[in-house]
Amino acid sequence: MASQYAESVRQFAKNVPGDMCNVLDLLSRKERYETRVFYTNSNTAGHGDVCRLTATKLINRVRDDQKQGLRAVCVIENISPAFIEELGTTWRVHPLFFANHAMNPAKDRLWDRVEWKHGDKIEHSLDEYQHLNGIFEYYDTKISIPDLTNLSKNYCSRYIFKDDPWPVNSNIRISYCRPLPELYLFLVDPPIDGHRAFHVGNDVQAQIILRFPYSTNRGGLLLPSLRAKRMCVPMDALKNAFDHQWQIDLLFSEPGLFPRIPLLYMLSSSLWETNLRGLHADIQDISFNRIRKPNLKISDDLHDLRRELSTMMDTMTETQRFAPDPVAIFFNELREQNRTLKGNLNMRLTPIEIHDQLLGRAGQLHIFFMETLQLLMNTIAIRDSQENLKQTRQSVLLTRLAAIYLPLSLTTAVFGMNLSEMTGSGPAVWVFVVTLVIMILVTAAILRSEGFYNRFSELFHQPASKPSEQR
């Protein structure tokens, strides 16, 4: 059956060569790259994982879930020829879905802004499919375009180019369809392998930014990466969203295919919420735990977190400002039409409203961060004061020892003289004894006097306790 589907694709390509030439090239490639699968349903939301599944095992899991009436989402990264043939045959996916996923838009049209009018009927049918075109920008990297091309492990060929004075660009595509009433199938490109090899100068962090030209500004919507990642991976973005039950419900709330631009803003709000939650946890950990023993590492970490928070607030402000009005209208109408969504507290906010709420929470976190920074400075000042007081006490002890040592050393030196060799009658022995007693009494009086402590305290600018208070 799989070979029959591949043959039907080839026959179809004869009539539409412009669309099918890329998929024919894809089908002819050997199975040499890794294909990863993320699969979750309405029962396992939050427990799904990215793994390597064969097409047969995936089909069997979907069949079992469909029998139970479970809603499911399947994301395939770097789909292989075997997956195309088996899934296309079993689920009767139109060959054009895979063809359009494999093809590239014109290079000079990648940054063209795409508008979406709410109410377009093309996306309200189960037989349709949609694609999202994104562009990676590689800032502060010295790696060459041929090296990037060699590092790519994608079955689908994509552009990698540089137009001066702009940074290196590479395009990706996210495609999705609804082959079964209770199943969404997403196809995504893998990230360029070896991104750690990017050469970066001292104190300069390489920036790899993913944008989609579907907002009202020229630069497009920036889809953030997860905090633990160096670049935004489409597989991670979809997994992060559909690990939450309410977002699966939102995806299936439409009778047909969910529109692509609202989907993009749903992914954006989910990523920002995850990142803000993690950033808040890190700042809290410093504020409540690590700050008790301040050091230079904590100071460096706070500066990094401050930069991350500032960048996050700027980007979320940009996302909020340039969100298309039809997207907000779509979500508001969808919330009113689907009464079941109102029962969930989290669903009372649309993705656009979530962006607004996250921006407010980020502002509150910035205030908390500044309080943490001030607390760190106060903690360091207190510890420095304690250290200075400790040094002062050690100096007092040293002064006491010196006050005792000097008269004793003088007296000892006198007693060490050879009296028989002294000229004249010389002093009697009792003179030395009386002198020693007098010096001891005078030294003790000085050490116990209040004026001694006050003068010593003024010298070191530290308050000294009275002798009576030390008892």
pLDDT by position in tens, the chain (length 471): 557 777 777 676 666 555 556 667 777 777 778 899 999 998 887 677 888 889 999 999 999 999 999 999 999 999 998 899 999 999 999 888 888 898 888 888 899 988 877 655 444 555 589 999 999 998 877 777 887 787 788 888 888 988 888 888 999 999 999 999 999 999 999 988 654 445 444 444 567 899 999 999 888 999 999 998 888 999 999 999 999 888 998 898 888 899 999 999 999 999 999 999 999 999 999 989 988 888 888 888 998 999 999 999 999 999 999 999 999 999 988 888 776 655 554 567 889 999 999 999 999 999 999 998 888 888 777 777 777 777 777 777 777 667 667 666 766 665 565 555 555 555 566 766 777 777 777 766 766 665 555 555 555 444 444 444 443
Closest to 301 measured CA to CA, from 384, 369, 378: 369
In a domain, 371, yes or no: yes
- Please, how many CA atoms are within 13 Å of residue 143, restricted to the half-sphere of its CB? 26
Residue 427 is encoded by which pair of tokens?
């002093």
In a domain, 291, yes or no: yes
Residue 216 DSSP one-character state: S
Q: For residue 205, how many other CB atoms are within 10 A of its CB?
A: 11
pLDDT value for 246: 87
In a domain, 447, yes or no: no
The C-alpha angle 395, 401, 404, rounded to 5 degrees, equals 145
Partnered with residue 304 across adjacent β-strands are none
pLDDT value for 468: 44
In a domain, 391, yes or no: yes
Closest to 50 measured CA to CA, from 72, 35, 31: 35
The parent domain of residue 375 ranges over 259-417
Structural domain total, the chain = 1
In a domain, 209, yes or no: no
> Helix-strand-coil percent breakdown of the chain, rounded to 5?
60, 10, 30
Q: Strand (E) positions, 198-263?
A: 207-212, 221-223
The C-alpha angle 21, 23, 26, rounded to 5 degrees, equals 115
In a domain, 393, yes or no: yes
In a domain, 203, yes or no: no
Residues 6 or more apart whose CB falls under 8 angstroms from that of 254 comprise 124, 334
